[in-house]
Structure 1
Amino acid sequence: MSRKGSRSRSTAVLRPAADPSADAARRSMPAGLRLLAGVMTVGVITVGVVGAGPSAVAAASADPVVSRGVTIPAFYTPPTELPSTNGALVRTEAMPLGLSIPGLDGRPMPGTATRLMYRSTDSAGQPVAVTGAYIEPSAAWRGSGPRPLVAVASGTMGQGDQCAPSFALQHPLTLTGDTVSVGYEALAIYRLLATGAAVVVTDYVGLGTTDRLHTYVNRVDEAHALLDAARAAHAVPGASITAASRTGLYGYSQGGGAGAAAAELQPSYAPDVPLAGTYAGAPPADLTSVMKGIDGSALAGALAWSISGFAQADPDLRAVVDANINATGRAALADASTMCVGDALLGYGFTKSSKWTTSGKSMGDIIAADPRAKAALDKQRIGTLKPSGPVRLATGVQDDIVPHSQARQLALDWCEKGANVTYRAVVLPNLGDKILTNHLVPLITDQGDAISWLTDRLAGKAATSNCWTMPVQP
Structure 2
Amino acid sequence: MMTEPLTDDEFYTATPIETGSTRGEILRLREVAVPQLRSVARAWQIVYVTSDSYGELIPASGIVIVPDIATQVGVGPILGYCPVFRGLGGRCAPSQLLADGTEPEADYLAMALDRGWSVAVADGRGLGITGLGPHTFLAGRCAGQTILDLTRATQRLPGLNDDTTPIALWGYADGGRNALWAAEIQHEYAPDLDLRGVAAGAVVADPGELVAEIDDGPFAGLGLAGLVGLARAYAHLPMLHILTTEGHLAVANIENLDATTILARYRQPLGHWCEQADPWADPMWRYVLARERCAQQPPQIPVHLYHGTHDTLIPVESARRLFSDYRGLGVDLNWSEYQVDHLQAATDGAGEAIAHLADYLQRTPPRSIRSTPSTSPPTTTPDS
TM-score (norm 1): 0.74
Q: Is the 8 A contact 2:17 2:59 kept in 1?
A: no
C-alpha distance after superposition, 1:154-179 (max 9, x if no partner): 11111114111100111133xxxxxx
Q: Provide structure 1 residue ranges, at least 5 long, that are not aligned to the other structure.
A: 1-39, 41-46, 48-66, 102-108, 174-182, 429-437
Aligned residue for 1:284, secondary structure, equals: coil
Shift of 1:186: 0.9
1:313, 1:326 → 2: CA distance? 21
Give runs of aligned pairs for residues 296-335 of structure 1, distance below 5 A: 296-314=216-234, 318-319=238-239, 321-322=240-241, 324-335=242-253
What is aligned with 2:193?
273
1:408, 1:469 → 2: CA distance? 9
Give runs of aligned pairs for residues 400-419 of structure 1, distance below 5 A: 400-419=312-331
Aligned residue for 1:116, secondary structure, equals: strand
Number of residue pairs the alignment of both structures matches: 374
Classify 1:316/1:84 alpha carbon distance in 2 versus 1 (closer, same or farther; 3 Å). Answer: closer
- State the one-letter code of the partner of 2:22: T
Q: Is the 8 A contact 1:422 1:467 kept in 2?
A: yes
- State the one-letter code of the partner of 2:297: L
Classify 1:80/1:315 alpha carbon distance in 2 versus 1 (closer, same or farther; 3 Å). Answer: closer
C-alpha distance after superposition, 1:285-310 (max 9, x if no partner): 11111111232333322222211122
2:361, 2:75 → 1: CA distance? 10
- Give aligned-pair identity as a percent: 29
Which stretch of the first structure deviates more once superposed, 259-268 or 207-216? 207-216
Aligned residue for 1:207, secondary structure, equals: coil
1:404, 1:470 → 2: CA distance? 10
What is aligned with 2:269?
352
Shift of 1:69: 6.3
Shift of 1:406: 1.7
Aligned residue for 1:407, secondary structure, equals: helix
Task: Please say if 1:443 is aligned against 2:340.
Answer: no
Shift of 1:100: 4.3
1:161, 1:119 → 2: CA distance? 21
Alpha carbon RMSD of aligned pairs, Å? 2.5
What is aligned with 2:54?
124
2:37, 2:306 → 1: CA distance? 30
Task: Please say if 1:168 is aligned against 2:97.
Answer: yes
2:216, 2:109 → 1: CA distance? 31
What is aligned with 1:256?
176
What is aligned with 2:356?
453
What is aligned with 1:134?
64
Aligned residue for 1:262, secondary structure, equals: helix
Aligned counterpart in structure 2 of residue 221 of structure 1, from 128, 131, 142: 142
Task: Please say if 1:74 is aligned against 2:10.
Answer: yes
Q: Provide structure 2 residue ranges, at least 5 long, that are not aligned to the other structure.
A: none
Aligned residue for 1:140, secondary structure, equals: coil
1:250, 1:381 → 2: CA distance? 19
What is aligned with 2:286?
374
Task: Find the structure with the greater CA-based Rg.
Answer: 1
Q: Is the 8 A contact 1:384 1:413 kept in 2?
A: no
Shift of 1:462: 10
Aligned counterpart in structure 2 of residue 197 of structure 1, from 77, 93, 117: 117
Task: Please say if 1:113 is aligned against 2:61.
Answer: no
